[in-house]
A and B are shown apart, each in its own frame.
Chain A
Amino acid sequence: MRALLALIAALLLWEALVRLTGLPPYLLPSPLAVGGALWTHRAEIAPAALLTGWETLLGLMLGAVLGVGTAVAMALWPRLGRALSPGLIVSQTIPVFALAPILTLWLGFGMAPKVAMVVLIVFVPVAQALYDGLMSPPSAQLDVARTMGASNWAELRHLRFPAALPRLASGLRLGAIYAPVGAVIGEWVGGARGLGALMIHANGRMRIDLMFAALFVVVALSLTLYTVIDRSLSRLLRARGF
């Protein structure tokens, strides 16, 4: 409720600013103009949003699966873990949008490079968070499991993995926040369709109101995705006693 009030206040301030300063709409359109653009271009925006959303979801799922697999492999083979662990951190310092043109070159102009972009963005936080969790199991439980004669695999499956689920959830939440950005960057660089491409074209034609409208849809998409994932993860964790 307070967030909604703050949003309304910000929109009013923005509208007032545009009216008082008389800024031309190609520099800063008013919120009403953006709303208007959102409505008049709905036939253009809706399929673009659908495509971007689809790329995001696909990339998020693939990235999560890849991240979980990597973290589990790293925990199961400590040598691999020690070798890859610095790599995970280094890879986070790479500005991924610099890779977008190369991905387009490798994977073409279809959906693949956009999905790959999302995978790259989601993969690291998921793998990192889960690996950290797998490597720091609760100590009393670990002592119990070891005296019970659990194999490394049993220890991973029955203790380390379930105990790391809250960390995995944090990684997935982070991934969900960044995922739509990945898809938009992908479309921005090498795409004719999707919200990213729509924004680039609108910018080029000085249709800043349309650009803002698309931006608004990206934010709404991200928030919806995050909320759904956050809620379902919380519910799942609560049911498991966390």
Chain B
Amino acid sequence: MRPTVSGEVPGLFGPLELVLEPGRLTCLLGASGVGKSTLLRLLAGLPTGVEFRGRVASQPAALMGQDPGLFSWLSAARNIGLGARLRGQRVDNARVAALIRAVGLEGLERRLPASLSGGQRQRVALARTLAEDRPLVLLDEPFSALDVALRLQIGDMAARLLAGRTVLMVTHDPAEAARLGDRILVMTPAGLTANPAPPGPVPRPHDAPEVLAAQAALTGRLLA
């Protein structure tokens, strides 16, 4: 199925339709406060605090936000296995260990979040999102609190590990959208428009001419 939000929020955005392509990473780019996160929360089935008029067709989702939302009293490994614990299921420790290796956190699995760096915390959150194994993955500006180098590194890691899943990634960074989006949607108060994504599989190199051109075009769209 194609996860879809169609409708409007009076005073925030007019009638629009957001449709995600199965198995693709869709970047939703837009200025702060334009309603990107509201669309994402509607897909996640979370309260939005606004009056939405319309229809949502979604799937069970895994969520990762700018605030990694780690439970500060649980070790990295326990945070990754959190979903099973919350649903009263048995935690698959072998899978947790595999995910820790996949995000490069070997040796840190027993650390509490407070003793991890910002990048390490986001990698724990990424592993936890993968541990959920949901058909839909929702990323709400997941790397916007990181510095440029970490943003590139962890963004590429996320795109690789999430390949083949239906992903919505909300971002306000044109460079990130140009590198990571199979599809790129730009959201403005006027509505949603699709922008051509640069050729090549994601993650794309940050310095490829097509990526830089797409980044410039997207920045122009945001300035318009």
Contact = CB atoms under 8 A, between A and B. Distances in A.
Question: For A143, A155, A159, A163, which residue has the most chain B Cβ atoms within 10 angstroms?
Answer: A143
Contacts of B87: 148-151, 154
B72 A242 contact: yes
A235 interface: no
B99 to A, nearest CB: 15
Interface stretch (B20-28, B60-68, B175-183): B60-68
Nearest to A142: B69
B50 to A, nearest CB: 16
Nearest to B140: A143
Interface stretch (B78-86, B148-156, B158-166, B207-215): B78-86
Main secondary structure of the interface of A (DSSP, over half): helix
Nearest to A154: B86
A145 B70 CA distance: 10
Contact of B86 (A158, A240, A241): A158
Interface string A176-202: 000000000000000000000000000
A118 B143 CA distance: 51
A140 B73 contact: no
A100 B63 CA distance: 54
Given A150-B86, A154-B86, A140 B113 contact: no
A21 interface: no
Contact of B46 (A147, A162, A165, A241): A147
Interface string B73-100: 1100000001101111000000000000
A140 B72 contact: no
A227 interface: no
A146 B65 CA distance: 13
A82 B90 CA distance: 35
Nearest to A237: B73
Q: How large is the interface on B (under 10, 10 to 19, 20 to 34, 35 or more residues)?
A: 20 to 34
Interface in A148-174: 148-151, 154-155, 158-159, 162-163, 165
Given A148-B83, A149-B86, A241 B72 contact: yes
B63 A143 contact: yes
Interface in A116-154: 138, 140-141, 143-151, 154
Contacts of B88: 151, 154
B112 A241 contact: yes
A144 B63 contact: yes
Interface string A230-242: 0000000000111
A138 B67 CA distance: 10
A140 B67 contact: yes
B45 interface: yes
B44 to A, nearest CB: 5
Nearest to A155: B86
A241 B85 contact: no
B115 to A, nearest CB: 8
Contact of A147 (B45, B70, B73, B114): B45
Contacts of A159: 71
A144 B114 contact: no
Contacts of B45: 146-147
15 contacts: A140-B69, A143-B65, A143-B69, A144-B65, A144-B82, A146-B45, A147-B63, A149-B83, A150-B86, A151-B88, A154-B86, A162-B73, A163-B73, A241-B73, A241-B113
